[in-house]
Structure 1
Amino acid sequence: MDMLKQRVLQALSLTNDFYNHINDGCLRLKISDVPSNTIGEQAYCIVGARESYLKALKIGQWAGFDCSLVDSNNKTLINRKLEQTHTNIERLLQEISIDENISIFLFDLLEHEVQHHGQLIRYAYANKITFPKSWSIRYTV
């Protein structure tokens, strides 16, 4: 189960790297000619999922989706929320032991985070955005 914790933290770090790497203008970009929200709105979903899964991990059950990110076009705020949620999840993972219920939430969080990586790769290719080095190593982009 230490591997599960490690993979969750790796995924969180990769997301943080992506949003640290892009410039402010990228947050408003979409994928043209297909239904698409913005890269900033992707961050809203990521932050909200992190906060919601953190709450679920603490109380032992899903309590619904909630997100404290109030501006999906503010890079400073997005990066702060991503760092804060990463730190909060990392701290909790140091304090808890993983049982079946906890592992389900951790797998769900990991799947959600990595699913957004796939989406962000498509956004980056569609908008000719370069990738941070960590993504080039992890995903060969």
Structure 2
Amino acid sequence: MDLLKQRVLQAMSLTDDFYNHINDACLTLRISNVPSNTIGEQAYCMIGARESYLKSLKMGHWAGFDCSLMDSNDKTLINSKLEETHTNIERFLRETSLDQMNSSLLFDLLEHEVQHHGQLIRYAYANKISFPKSWNIRYTV
């Protein structure tokens, strides 16, 4: 289970790096000619998932989706929420032994975060956004 915890934290660090790396204007970008939300709305989904999965991990069962991010175009707020949710999950994982239900929820969170990485790679390529060094190392983009 330590490996699972490590991989969740690694995935969250990569997300944090991406949003720290891009400029404010990138938050409103979409992928042209396909159904697409914005890069900022991608952050909304990840922040909400982090908050929702943490709540669920504490309760021991899925407790529904909720997100405290009020503005998906505010880079400072997004980075603050990413840092806050990362810290809160890291603290929980450090202080908690995982049972089978929590392990399943944690795998779901990992899958969700990494799935968004794939989407963000497509957004970056479509909009000619460079990647942070951590993404070049992890994903060879």
TM range (shorter): over 0.9
Aligned to 1:139: 139
2:136 match: secondary structure = helix
1:95 aligns with: 95
- Size of the alignment, in residue pairs? 141
The runs of 5 or more residues in structure 2 that have no matched partner are none
Q: Match for 2:54: what amino acid?
A: L
Say whether residues 1:28 and 2:28 are aligned partners.
yes
Asked if 1:38 is matched to 2:44, the reply is: no
Q: Shift of residue 75 of structure 1?
A: 0.1
**Deviation of residue 24 (structure 1)?**
0.0
Q: How does 1:62-101 map to 2 (within 5 A)?
A: 62-101=62-101
1:100-125 per-position Cα deviation (integer Å, ceiling 9, x unaligned): 11100000000000000000000000
Query: CA–CA distance in 2 between the matches of 1:63 and 1:110?
Result: 17
Quick check: 1:5 aligned with 2:5?
A: yes
Which aligned runs of 4 or more in structure 1 are off by greater than 4 angstroms? Answer: none
1:50 counterpart = 2:53: no
Counterparts of 1:98 and 1:54, CA distance in 2? 13
TM-score, L = length of structure 1 = 0.99
| Pairwise CA distance, 1:98 | 1.1
| Cα deviation, residue 90, structure 1 | 0.1
| Alignment gaps of 5+ in structure 1 | none
Amino acid corresponding to residue 43 of structure 1 in structure 2: A
Residue 86 of structure 1: CA displacement?
A: 0.1
Paired with 1:104 and 1:8, the residues of 2 have a C-alpha distance of: 12
TM-score of the two chains, using structure 2 as the length reference: 0.99
- Distance in 1, matches of 2:26 and 2:129, equals 8
Q: For residues 39 and 63 of structure 1, what CA distance do their matches in structure 2 show?
A: 26
Once residues 64 and 100 of structure 2 are traced to their aligned partners in structure 1, the CA distance between those partners, rounded to angstroms, is: 20
Name the amino acid aligned to 2:94.
Q
In 2: Cα distance, 1:102 partner to 1:36 partner: 32
